[in-house]
Amino acid sequence: MVTKAKKLKRMIKSIWIFNWFNSCGFMDLIPVVGSRWDMERFGMIVTGTPRHADVLFIAGYQTSKSIKRAKRIYEQMPEPRVVIALGSCSMTGGMYWDSYNTIKRLSDHIPVNLYVPGCPPRPEAVFEAAEKIFQHVLEMKDE
């Protein structure tokens, strides 16, 4: 049985991230990766494959084509997995609210744990979201 404590223990060492960004999405996270805010000091590393990742960062608008790929990435991630959606595009469509080809609400398609608002979100907000991941793990069910 995988308990909450075990899940938390697995994750608390460090958060490994997989990025799935469309359009200007990665602009949001460049300062977080860079030396000024430097997410690696908290052990947050960007992995090369979703199979190694704990957290999926999704930013920017998802098109009807790319959401299928996002779903596949989500399904490849091991449990416990957390999805954090960055930016206003993933919440409401943002400035693309009347685009014929973009997904308006990300949580209609994959389960999102946390939305980080902003266009783009501040690096501090991204860190606060990363901190709240542990709280979400505590809320998860035992398997």
Partner 1 sequence: MNEKELIGELKSEFGIEGDIQRDRRIWITIEKENLLKVCTFLHKKNFEHLSTISVTDWPKKGTYELTYHLWSYLDKIFISIKTEISRDKPEIESLTQIWNGSAQIHERELHELFGVVFNGNPDLSPLFLEDWNSAPPFRKDFNWREYVRGKYYDRKNEREKPYFV
Measure the CA–CA gap between 130 and 22, rounded to whole angstroms: 20
List the one residue from 87, 93, 120, 121 that touches partner 1 (CB under 8 A).
93
- Residues 45-84 as x/- pattern, contact with partner 1 by CB under 8 A: ------------------xxx--x----------------
Closest approach of Cβ 100 to partner 1, in Å? 5
Q: Which stretch binds partner 1 (CB under 8 A): 2-10, 40-48, 82-90, 94-102?
A: 94-102
Measure the CA–CA gap between 13 and 42, rounded to whole angstroms: 9
- Residue in the block written with tokens 């409401």: 92
List the one residue from 99, 114, 118, 127 that touches partner 1 (CB under 8 A).
99
The letter for the amino acid at 74 is Y
Q: Give strand ranges (E) for 7-142.
A: 16-21, 45-46, 55-59, 82-86, 114-116
Q: Output 65 or 141, the one with its CB closest to partner 1.
A: 65
Q: Is 101 near partner 1 (CB under 8 A)?
A: yes
Measure the CA–CA gap between 116 and 94, rounded to whole angstroms: 13
Closest approach of Cβ 52 to partner 1, in Å? 28
**85-112 as b/e: b if 16+ CB within 10 A:** bbbbbbbebbebeeeeebbbebeeebeb
Q: Is 104 near partner 1 (CB under 8 A)?
A: yes
Q: Is 139 near partner 1 (CB under 8 A)?
A: no
- Please give the residue ranges that form the binding site for partner 1 (CB under 8 A): 63-65, 68, 93, 97-101, 104
